[in-house]
Amino acid sequence: MDKFVIRGGNKLEGEVTISGAKNATLALMPATLLAPGNYSLYNTPELNDVYTMMKLLTHLGVAAEFRDNLLKLNTDNIISQDAPYEHVKKMRASVYVLGPLLARFGLAKVSLPGGCSWGPRPINLHLEGLKKMGADIELSGGYIIAKSPRLHGSKISFDISSVGATGNILMAAVLAKGESSIINAAIEPEIINLVCFLEKMGARIEGIGTPNLHIEGVDELKSADIDTIPDRIEAGTILIAAAITRGKVKLNNIKAELLLSILNKLENSGCNLIYNNEYIEIDGVNNNINPIDVTTSAFPGFPTDMQAQWTAYMALASGVSTVTDTIYLDRFKHVPELQRLGASITINENSAIIKGVKKLMGAKVMSTDLRASASLVLAGLAAQGTTEVLRVYHLDRGYQRIEEKLKFLGADIERVEGKEF
């Protein structure tokens, strides 16, 4: 369990390249189960969650080779339809194998993902959708056991926009018999990346980029290659690192259209930005850190995955702001840790009310989940003195060597390897 030691105060300056999106890769990888053959997934980020998904796919019989952000998979010899607890407990996105295994093999046994560090994250929409497509689903011994000789097309209407349920149902529907529609489908860029991949594999999908997808099931698909889109959350996190240290940074390999809601909020907070669909430049040198409220919502709204980072940023604002999470009502594990650094934050239901302070002071803080850890790193970059962020394995799940990128931009941050942290 490594830790980061950060001596705060350095302004970030320079250029970095954004890696591929975690949440896109985690949907693209299981989609390869839908058809035998060779796949190349370009721009795959080197993350622990990707290695976890690789282990799960390897357990199912997939052959995998991963080097220099190119992930090669071969799905000719699938030997199991069983995703065991030991894999799924490490990462909820493992449940993505359910739709493709069931659609191609008529059987899937997938461990129930269980709770998450910040509260319940149900998968009822995944299961109800598959049932509507004719799957026989039984919950037994902590497992979802899903069976159907051949799924049939259906109209599936989601009450809530869900990234995971849209991905799972989509992967099931492309091989189902007949036509399906998904109403209120998620339109997150990572889902669009998946739709593009499925189309390259021969799937027939209409309505790409809209909340109404229409799918005409086919008898079989073929293997294909795909470029993973850039990670909008990594980009947003590094932009806040520049803004909070009053630095000036250019991000390459990023499309502004992926994160306009974040860019807009950063501009309102007092940063100057130049952006297009190749790069984003942020100039926070004269940043006043105006207090700016955010409320998370599904894409294209402000992402819940940036809520903790924005809270850390607003901890140093010149006034009071409110950050409300409407996607995950309890996602505030970072708040007590930010308070240890001197932040003045109170929680009221699903909102954090943040009274900006003049300075944060370094301390030892504990990572509790991926984005919470990112917020602690951001606070540490701006705090006076030394901050130790313990248990950074959470960060390694979703950021490709973030400390190297930050160090390259001038941050005083180092990873200390060890067991005791």
Q: Annotated catalytic sites, by residue?
A: 116
Kindly report the backbone phi and psi dihedral angles of residue 303, in degrees, each rounded to the nearest multiple of 5, phi listed first.
Answer: -75, 140
Of 305, 325, 337, 403, which lies in the binding site for ligand EPU, with binding defined by CB under 6 A? 305
What's the min distance (Å) between Cβ of 401 and ligand EPU? 17
Count of alpha carbons within 13 Å of 70, Cβ hemisphere only? 7
Contact 18, 235 (CB under 8 A): yes
What kind and span of H or E run contains 335?
helix 334-340
- CA 400 to chain centroid: 13
List CB contacts of 264: < 8 A, sequence separation 6 or more: none
- Do you find a cis peptide bond into 300, omega within 30 degrees of 0? yes
- Nearer residue to ligand EPU within complex by CB, 173 or 383: 173
Q: Interface with ligand EPU includes 234 (CB under 6 A)?
A: no
Of 125, 262, 360, 389, which lies in the binding site for ligand EPU, with binding defined by CB under 6 A? 125
Q: Interface with ligand EPU includes 54 (CB under 6 A)?
A: no
- Nearer residue to ligand EPU within complex by CB, 10 or 228: 228
- Nearer residue to ligand EPU within complex by CB, 233 or 360: 233
Q: Interface with ligand EPU includes 157 (CB under 6 A)?
A: no
Q: Binding segment for ligand EPU among 18-26, 65-73, 192-200, 267-275 (CB under 6 A)?
A: 18-26
Q: Binding segment for ligand EPU among 158-166, 208-216, 252-260, 385-393 (CB under 6 A)?
A: 158-166
What's the min distance (Å) between Cβ of 102 and ligand EPU? 16
Contact 344, 354 (CB under 8 A): yes
- Nearer residue to ligand EPU within complex by CB, 34 or 317: 34
- Nearer residue to ligand EPU within complex by CB, 287 or 373: 373
For the chain, the residue count is: 421
CA–CA distances in Å: residue 384 to residues 89, 359, 379: 37, 7, 10
Residue 58 to residue 45: CA distance in whole angstroms: 18
- Nearer residue to ligand EPU within complex by CB, 22 or 246: 22
What's the min distance (Å) between Cβ of 123 and ligand EPU? 5
Q: Binding segment for ligand EPU among 81-89, 300-308, 338-346, 405-413 (CB under 6 A)?
A: 300-308
- Nearer residue to ligand EPU within complex by CB, 329 or 361: 329
Residue 24 to residue 233: CA distance in whole angstroms: 11
Q: Please give the residues from 80 up to 99 whose contact with ligand EPU meets the rule CB under 6 A.
A: 92-93
DSSP structure string for 265-306: HHHHHT-EEEE-SSEEEEE-TT-------EEB-STTSB-GGG
Residue 29 to residue 98: CA distance in whole angstroms: 13
- Nearer residue to ligand EPU within complex by CB, 28 or 165: 165
How many residues of this chain bind ligand EPU (CB under 6 A)? 26
Q: In what order do the strands lie in the sheet with 63-67?
A: 63-67, 70-74, 38-42, 225-227
What's the min distance (Å) between Cβ of 259 and ligand EPU? 13
Instruction: State the distance between the two ends of the chain, measured CA to CA, in whole angstroms.
Output: 6
Of 16, 26, 151, 174, which lies in the binding site for ligand EPU, with binding defined by CB under 6 A? 26
Q: Which residues of 149-174 are buried (b: 16+ CB within 10 A; e: fewer)?
A: eebbbbebebeebbbbbbbbbbbbbb
Q: Tell me, residue by residue from 310 to 349, as one string, x for binding to ligand EPU by CB under 6 A and - for no binding.
A: -----------------xx---------------------
Q: Binding segment for ligand EPU among 115-123, 235-243, 246-254, 306-314 (CB under 6 A)?
A: 115-123
Contact 145, 137 (CB under 8 A): yes
Of 90, 246, 334, 371, which lies in the binding site for ligand EPU, with binding defined by CB under 6 A? 371
Q: Interface with ligand EPU includes 123 (CB under 6 A)?
A: yes
User: What SS3 state is found at 330?
Assistant: coil
> Which residues in this chain contact ligand EPU in the complex, by CB under 6 A?
22-23, 26, 92-93, 121-126, 160, 162-165, 186, 190, 303-305, 327-328, 370-371, 398
